[in-house]
C-alpha cells in the first residue's frame, strides 16, 4: 500500500495537533471536576447557613464562613494570577459575605442591624444568581437557591 505525500502530511499535522487536543480535553475535565467539587461545598454551606438563620446561631454562621474561606482564597489567588474566577467561586464569596453580615447583624440593634441585614439580603440575592450560574458551569440541573434570601427576609 503506497502512501501519498498528502496522507503523510496529514499524519504529521495530526501528530503535532494530537497532544494539544488531549491536553485541552484533560484540562476541561479537570475544570469541570473542580467546579463540581466547589459547587458541592458551597451547597453544603448553603444548607448550614439556612439552618443557622432558622436558629439565629451566629456561631454556626462564623463556622460556615471559616469553611468557605479556603474556597474564597483560592478564587482570589487565581484572580491575582490573571486567571478566571468561576461562578462557583463567586457564589462562595457571596454566601460568605451574607453569612458574615448576618452574624454581625444578630448581635446588633437599631440602625447598624438594619444596614447589616440590608447588606446580607443583597449578598444573598447575588448568591442566588451566582449559584444558578455555578450549577450550569458544573453541568448540573439549575436549582432554586433563593432559600437564603427568603430566610433573611423572614428575619
pLDDT at residue number 60: 92
What distance separates the 2 farthest-apart alpha carbons in the chain?
88
* In contact, 134 and 42? CB cutoff 8 Å: yes
Q: Which of 31-35, 63-67, 101-105 has the lowest mean pLDDT?
A: 31-35
pLDDT at residue number 63: 93
More reliable by pLDDT, 2 or 73: 73
Range of the domain at 120: 5-154
More reliable by pLDDT, 126 or 23: 126
pLDDT at residue number 36: 80
User: Coil, helix or strand for 138?
Assistant: coil
Radius of gyration of the chain (CA): 22
**Closest by CA position to 67, among listed 41, 105, 89, 40:** 41
In total, how many domains does the chain have? 1
pLDDT at residue number 146: 75
More reliable by pLDDT, 93 or 146: 93
Q: Is the pLDDT of residue 11 over 80?
A: no
pTM of the model: 0.74
**DSSP collapsed to 3 states, 65-108:** HHHHHHHHHHHHHHHHCCCCCCHHHHHHHHHHHHHHHHHHHHHC
Q: pLDDT of 85-138, one tens digit each?
A: 888 899 999 999 999 999 998 888 999 999 999 999 999 999 999 999 988 888
More reliable by pLDDT, 19 or 88: 88
Amino acid at each position: 500500500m503506497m502512501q501519498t505525500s498528502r496522507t503523510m502530511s496529514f499524519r504529521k499535522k495530526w501528530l503535532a495537533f494530537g497532544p494539544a487536543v488531549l491536553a485541552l480535553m484533560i484540562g476541561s475535565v479537570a475544570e469541570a471536576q473542580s467546579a463540581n467539587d466547589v459547587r458541592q461545598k458551597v451547597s453544603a454551606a448553603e444548607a448550614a447557613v439556612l439552618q443557622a438563620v432558622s436558629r439565629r446561631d451566629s456561631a454556626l454562621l462564623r463556622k460556615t464562613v471559616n469553611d468557605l474561606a479556603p474556597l474564597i482564597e483560592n478564587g482570589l489567588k487565581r484572580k491575582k494570577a490573571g486567571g478566571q474566577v468561576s461562578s462557583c467561586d463567586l457564589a462562595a464569596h457571596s454566601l460568605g459575605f451574607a453569612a458574615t453580615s448576618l452574624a454581625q447583624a444578630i448581635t446588633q440593634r437599631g440602625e447598624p442591624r438594619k444596614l447589616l441585614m440590608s447588606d446580607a439580603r443583597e449578598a444573598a440575592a447575588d448568591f442566588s444568581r451566582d449559584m444558578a450560574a455555578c450549577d450550569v458551569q458544573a453541568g448540573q440541573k439549575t436549582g432554586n437557591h433563593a432559600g437564603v434570601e427568603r430566610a433573611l427576609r423572614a428575619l
